[in-house]
Amino acid sequence: MNNLVRLTKDKDVAIITIDNPPVNALSPGVPEGISAAIDEINGDSDAKAAVVIGAGRTFVAGADIKEFAKMTSGGPRRGLLPLLLRIEDSGKPVVMAIHGTAFGGGLELAMAGHYRVASPAAQVGQPEVKLGIIPGAGGTQRLPRLVGVAKAVEMCAEGKPVFAREAATFGLIDRLIEGDLLAGAVSFAREIAGKPALKTQERTEKLGTAAENAAIFAAARDKARKKQRGLKAPLAAIDAVEAGTGLSFEEGCQAEAKLFTECLFSDQSKALIHVFFGEREVAKIPDIPKETPVLPVNRVAVVGSGTMGGGIAMVFANAGIPVLLKDVDEAALDLGMGKIRKNYASSVQRGRFTQAFVDERLQLITPVLNYDAFSEVDMVVEAVFEGMALKKTVLADLDSACRRGAILATNTSTLNIDEIAGATSRPEAVIGTHFFSPANVMRLLEIVRGKKSSKEVIATCMQLSKKLGKIGVLVGNCRGFVGNRMFGPYRREAQFLIEEGAEVEAVDQALVEFGNAMGPMATGDLAGLDVGWRIRKEYRHLEKPGIRQPFAEDRLCEMGRFGQKTGKGWYRYDENRRANADPEVTALVRKWSADAGIPQRQISTAEIVDRCIYALVNEGARILQEGYALRAVDIDIIYLNGYGFPAYRGGPMWHADTVGVQKVYQRICEFHQQHGELWAPAPLLQRLAETGKTFAEFDKEQVAAA
């Protein structure tokens, strides 16, 4: 048909093969090729039925997402609806044969067929909401006809994929095929050839009554507002399904198209599409080509079984990698293993894992008290107490205990990787793997490149992150690396605002309304205020004299108010760990501020958000300019996956682009005038503002230059 779609025959069954690697997206040429093939089959008197299948690893992963950016910047609109109607109208029945994934437009294509067969492990879904859009090729209209309104609403609004094995139980898949999918699909096609085939759009038996559906839509909207806070697409998806239940198929498709277009042109969709490509972009490192050899990581060890070490051991075990877990004595090890068991037990209780899965994972974790078996491991992650002297001792021990070629990784959050690497005879094998707490839950992994970390070691850790279910982002070795270095100014501003008169809850509330998972003060209480306090004490000698520093949190720590762990911090916690505003804190901060001569004033929500978020942007720009992050998008991905920044705003740097770099720069200049040196605009930000460029354009220039 063309170079993306092939038409062949197995006797009386025509086979349409979509071959558009890597994921058979419906890029320009694919719909045209399928349409031409359908025409040809309908003119071929020998063909009794057709099978549509994907070449390579998957059926069709959806519309080509790259095309959306072209559409929103004035390019032609390419709809799939005409193709899908053409398939449905085919006089010869069409069997869709699904393996890998049938997502978005891929599932919509499959639903336009008269039958669907699938490998049991294939996945089907309408994940469009994750891109800030809704199904745009009749998905919200055909899906309820096949699976009923409740399931369709769930799939379109939540975007979660479903295994074919399960989809077969609710009517989306007509037959599961073990073994050779094509052979199974062809023989299925012969079985149904000549029998009357129903068009999906004509099936109304599962659409339900208005009264039944009202409750479904109300519950779905409620859930979306809670679980997908701030996101517009899920509500639009529910609207589209609802429209379809009261209207004809054609009118339903028109309603869907209108909602789809509104979503596609929204800032949320642009941000989420940026995130989709960003998550893949971060894996690309300019000076480390894809072909760089990677080292085997089949057995590992973790040193330190505390908060982080225990979580990291679980991460490896969950990926099926056997792990030795070492601590200093039985008591520490028992405590660590106890927490791991408790953690797994609660996952079983919540239905996340089965008991059998957990039993297998626990078998993979071997507690040890010495380094004897370390000679057999491919990688060690040390997660002992934070302290340079201890880290150096542990790394020197690992240098003696581990075979040459093993990777020696440190989970330090503040210390200099090069200094730690200096304690070994093989600094090229040393790297930072900065997991986030709780390590078994948080998706972010900052991979910290030391001066001498070898390319193989970096490439291995980047690849490993994917295997561990993490998103690995390579960062440079500066204090706080990327995420925490930016988090410092963010929390600093939050404290300044409180010291200037804002209420603690008002600061948190403003940032939660902005979309963050938690406010900065509640986050501090959760992580433990003492952590930052100890670090600040250690680095106090580096502070420039005469520069304003926040003081309230340090004073709270001096009073033993460390946050949730002590029942008091910025908030007061009840026995269920619920936070309550604490008038004592307000009174104390007001007094301390008066003593320090800080004028008190009414502070608007907009100022709270600008001060905190632009503090992130300004520091992010500095990091970028200094080369500690490879691209602005890397910073965005760090903030979305490690710091609860709202994905629909695309990350702090994308958010700055959306607001307008010039506007952000001007606001930062105002803060600079009002609050002094800490707000000096980052030179890169100034340059972008003056030349009318965005961070996204900066990234493109970097890629082009590499």
Q: Which positions are annotated as active-site residues?
A: 108, 128
**399-428 binders of ligand NAI (CB under 6 A):** 411-413
Cα→Cα distances 102→25, 57, 60, 68, 109, Å: 10, 11, 5, 19, 9
Q: Could you tell me where the beta strands, DSSP code E, fall in 27-120? A: 49-54, 94-98, 101-103, 115-118
Q: 151-210: which residues touch ligand NAI (CB under 6 A)?
A: none
Nearer to ligand 3HC, 142 or 426 (CB): 142
Q: Alpha-carbon torsion 583, 588, 589, 590, what sign?
A: positive
Judged by beta carbon, residue 96 or residue 325, the one nearer ligand 3HC is: 96
For residue 101, state whether it binds ligand 3HC (rule: CB under 6 A): yes
Residues in Cβ contact with 284 at an 8 Å cutoff, skipping those fewer than 6 apart: none
309 binds ligand NAI (CB under 6 A): yes
The residues, ordered by sequence, that sit 6+ positions from 137 with a Cβ below 8 Å of its Cβ are 63, 79, 80, 81, 84, 105, 108, 109
> Under 8 Å CB-to-CB from 249, ≥6 apart: which residues?
141, 201, 202
Give all strands (DSSP E) within 415-563, no chain letters: 430-435, 444-449, 471-476
User: Between residues 323 and 394, which has the closer beta carbon with respect to ligand NAI?
Assistant: 394
| Residues 97, 140 contacting (CB under 8 angstroms) | no
Q: Judged by CB under 6 A, how many residues of this single chain contact ligand 3HC?
A: 24
Which C-beta is closer to ligand NAI: that of 148 or that of 310?
310
Three-class SS state of 368? strand
Site map (CB under 6 A) of ligand 3HC, residues 280-309, x = contact? x-----------------------------
Among 105, 132, 480, 519, binds ligand 3HC (CB under 6 A): 105
Q: Which residue is nearest to ligand NAI (CB)?
A: 306
Q: How many residues does the chain have?
A: 706
* Contact partner, 304, from ligand 3HC, ligand NAI, none, Cβ < 5-8 Å per class: ligand NAI
Cβ atoms of residues 421 and 341 within 8 Å: no
**Of 102, 37, 34, which Cα lies nearest the Cα of 63?**
102
Q: Which of 34, 41, 61, 317 binds ligand 3HC (CB under 6 A)?
A: 61
Give CA–CA dist 119/191, Å, rounded.
18
Site string for ligand NAI, 351-390 (x = CB under 6 A): --------------------------------xxxx---x
Q: Which of 127, 132, 480, 528 binds ligand 3HC (CB under 6 A)?
A: 127
Q: How far apart are CA 195 and CA 189, in angstroms?
A: 10
Interaction residues for ligand 3HC, span 10-39 (CB under 6 A): 22-23, 25
139 makes contact with ligand 3HC (CB under 6 A): yes
Among 308, 381, 407, 430, binds ligand NAI (CB under 6 A): 308
Over the window 287 to 306, marking each residue x when it contacts ligand NAI by CB under 6 A and - when it does not, the resulting string is: ----------------xxxx
Residue 400 vs 691, nearer CB to ligand NAI: 400
Half-sphere exposure of 199 (CA within 13 A, CB side): 13
Task: Determine which residue in the list 332, 373, 659, 669 makes contact with ligand NAI, applying CB under 6 A.
Answer: 332
Q: Give the separation between CA 518 and CA 508, rounded to whole angstroms.
A: 7
| Binding region for ligand NAI (CB under 6 A) | 303-309, 326-328, 332, 336, 383-386, 390, 394, 411-413, 435, 437, 527
| Binding region for ligand 3HC (CB under 6 A) | 22-23, 25, 61-66, 80, 101, 103-105, 108, 127-128, 131, 135-137, 139, 277, 280
